[in-house]
């Protein structure tokens, strides 16, 4: 039985990569002072309708929306920014006007499914409220780039400025005029009237778009100098980037700096974001500059290469019929003292290492009738790093044998050395 079109089950190696990515992101962004927010997956539709733009692809064609039993229209969230802004205004703005938030979770867009484009996908997003300096634009691009560097994903960053309500209308008119005499695809004919900037994104009209006016020539003085300072700061941070004046983003809330991150392997962006200085006020909050980005989890997972050795984790207990009782005693003793083990430090390096792995993953064979050899084979296939072996020999000597499956060596230890 298939899953709903454009959705998939996450399992096995892919699930491990998801877990790795999410855990790494949590640690990384928390260390940088971002606080996690888990907003609901369903929201009232107003949160996205006006904020993303009535003429955006998402609002026009891709939102999963339905009328709830009380007659109110709700949607499955298509992105995280507008939801984060709703949360910020409603729950924390008055106490904490400057806030750094991050979120991890599923988003829903009814797109035409293809590789790297799903109807349910996941994002890791960061939003910063109350920051207006060009340094903050460069900072957020820098930490995004470092995120990818840390997980070993080669990438390139493209930046642009989409101006503000002072300068963008002039650019829109210039674009409209430029496209007036050109032959455009059916969708872009409509875009020309509603929002000609979107034509720059079109995959069909690439040739026509080539010679279109450059938005950077139309920026007002304020936007121009902000953008120049962002570029200078990016250089100071040592971030490699390209300026791409064709990046306009498909969402209406952006003002000023926008950026997209691409891998060297495929053409879809793996992350994107920008500044949205007017959105908080637009949604009813005190005027507050803000900026952020979202990383596409599926697209990033596709690029992750975790070595199988790196995945080896945990301790698995194997035993012979003579060792069975002692093995289960050991198992229960560990389970009841897990809190102590995770807090415990020190001991010999063997003790420290085994404790470290026990905390991460710990299990016992429950197929007592299987031979020791087949239990070990099972532990190996499940990528356990260590096995504990308890048999006749161990009972007689009063020890447990530990085998490191990654480095192929073993040692004996008394149970009391390991536990408290």
Task: Choose which of 39, 51, 123, 383 interacts with ligand HAM (CB under 6 A).
Answer: 123
| Subset of 205-244 contacting ligand HAM (CB under 6 A) | none
Size of the site for ligand HAM (CB under 6 A): 24
Q: Which own/partner contact pairs does 213-218 have at CB distance under 8 Å and 24+ positions apart?
A: 213/171, 213/174, 213/175, 213/178, 214/245, 215/160, 215/161, 215/162, 215/163, 215/171, 215/245, 215/248, 216/160, 216/161, 216/243, 216/245, 218/163, 218/167, 218/168, 218/170, 218/171, 218/174
The DSSP bridge pattern shows strands 155-161 and 35-36 to be: unpaired
Which of 355, 329, 328 has the alpha carbon at shortest distance from 342?
355
Q: Exposed, middle or buried, 260 (CB in 10 Å: 0-12/13-18/19+)?
A: buried
252 binds ligand HAM (CB under 6 A): no
Q: Binding residue for ligand HAM (CB under 6 A) from 87, 121, 147, 259?
A: 121
Instruction: Give the CB-side neighbour count of residue 152, counting CA atoms within 13 A.
Output: 10
Long-range pairs for 229-233 at CB < 8 Å and ≥24 separation? 229/134, 229/135, 230/134, 230/137, 230/138, 230/159, 230/161, 230/257, 231/159, 232/134, 233/134, 233/135, 233/137, 233/138, 233/139
Closer to ligand HAM at the Cβ: 299 or 357? 299
Which residue is it, tokens 């709830």? 68
Under rule CB under 6 A, residue 117 binds ligand HAM: yes
- Shortest reach from residue 261's CB to ligand HAM, in Å: 7
For ligand HAM, the closer of residues 138 and 388 by Cβ is: 138
Cβ distance to ligand HAM smaller for residue 275 or 403: 275
* Max CA separation in the chain (angstroms): 92
Q: Which of 8, 111, 187, 322 binds ligand HAM (CB under 6 A)?
A: 111
Which 59-98 residues touch ligand HAM, going by CB under 6 A?
79-81
Mark the segment that binds ligand HAM (CB under 6 A) among 111-119, 170-178, 212-220, 370-378: 111-119
Under rule CB under 6 A, which residues in 264-293 are in contact with ligand HAM?
Answer: 269-274, 292-293
> Closest CB to ligand HAM among 110 and 350?
110
Among 127, 137, 205, 277, binds ligand HAM (CB under 6 A): 127
Q: Is 118 in the site for ligand HAM (CB under 6 A)?
A: yes
The answer to whether 405 contacts ligand HAM (rule: CB under 6 A) is: no
Pick the closer one to ligand HAM by CB: 265 or 392: 265
The closest residue (CB) to ligand HAM is 296
What are the residues binding ligand HAM (CB under 6 A)? Answer: 79-81, 109, 111, 116-118, 121, 123, 125, 127, 269-274, 292-294, 296, 298-299
């Amino acid at each position: 039985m298939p899953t709903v079109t454009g959705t998939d089950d996450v399992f096995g190696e892919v699930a491990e990569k998801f877990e790795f990515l999410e855990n790494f992101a949590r640690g990384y962004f928390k260390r940088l002072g971002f606080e996690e927010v888990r907003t609901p997956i369903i929201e009232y539709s107003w949160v996205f309708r006006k904020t993303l733009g009535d003429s955006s692809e998402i609002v026009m064609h891709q939102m999963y929306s339905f009328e709830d039993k009380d007659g109110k229209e709700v949607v499955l969230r298509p992105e995280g920014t507008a939801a984060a802004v709703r949360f910020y205004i409603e729950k924390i703005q008055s106490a904490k006007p400057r806030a750094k938030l991050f979120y991890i979770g599923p988003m829903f867009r009814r797109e035409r499914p293809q590789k790297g484009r799903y109807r349910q996908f996941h994002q890791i997003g960061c939003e910063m409220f109350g920051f207006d300096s060009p340094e903050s634009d460069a900072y957020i691009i820098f930490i995004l780039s470092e995120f990818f560097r840390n997980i070993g994903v080669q990438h390139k960053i493209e930046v642009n400025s989409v101006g503000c309500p002072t300068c963008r209308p002039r650019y829109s008119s210039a674009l409209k005029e430029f496209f007036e005499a050109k032959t455009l695809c059916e969708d872009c004919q409509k875009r020309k009237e509603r929002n000609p900037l979107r034509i720059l994104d079109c995959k069909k009209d690439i040739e026509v778009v080539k010679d279109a006016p450059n938005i950077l020539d139309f920026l007002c003085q304020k936007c121009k100098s902000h953008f120049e300072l962002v570029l200078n700061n990016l250089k100071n941070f040592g971030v490699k980037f390209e300026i791409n004046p064709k990046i306009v983003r498909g969402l209406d809330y952006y003002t000023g700096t926008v950026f997209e991150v691409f891998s060297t392997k495929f053409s879809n962006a793996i992350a994107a974001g920008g500044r949205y200085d007017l959105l908080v006020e637009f949604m009813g909050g005190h005027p507050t500059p803000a900026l952020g980005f979202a990383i596409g989890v599926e697209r990033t997972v596709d690029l992750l290469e975790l070595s199988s050795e790196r995945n080896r984790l945990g301790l698995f207990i194997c035993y012979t019929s003579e060792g069975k009782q002692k093995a289960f005693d050991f198992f229960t003793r560990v389970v009841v003292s897990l809190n102590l083990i995770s807090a415990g430090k020190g001991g010999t390096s063997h003790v420290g290492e085994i404790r470290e792995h026990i905390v991460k993953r710990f299990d016992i064979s429950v197929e007592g009738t299987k031979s020791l050899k087949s239990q070990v084979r099972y532990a190996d296939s499940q990528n356990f790093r260590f096995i504990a072996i308890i048999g006749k020999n161990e009972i007689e000597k009063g020890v447990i044998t530990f085998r490191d499956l990654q480095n192929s060596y073993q040692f004996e230890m008394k149970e009391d050395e390991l536990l408290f």
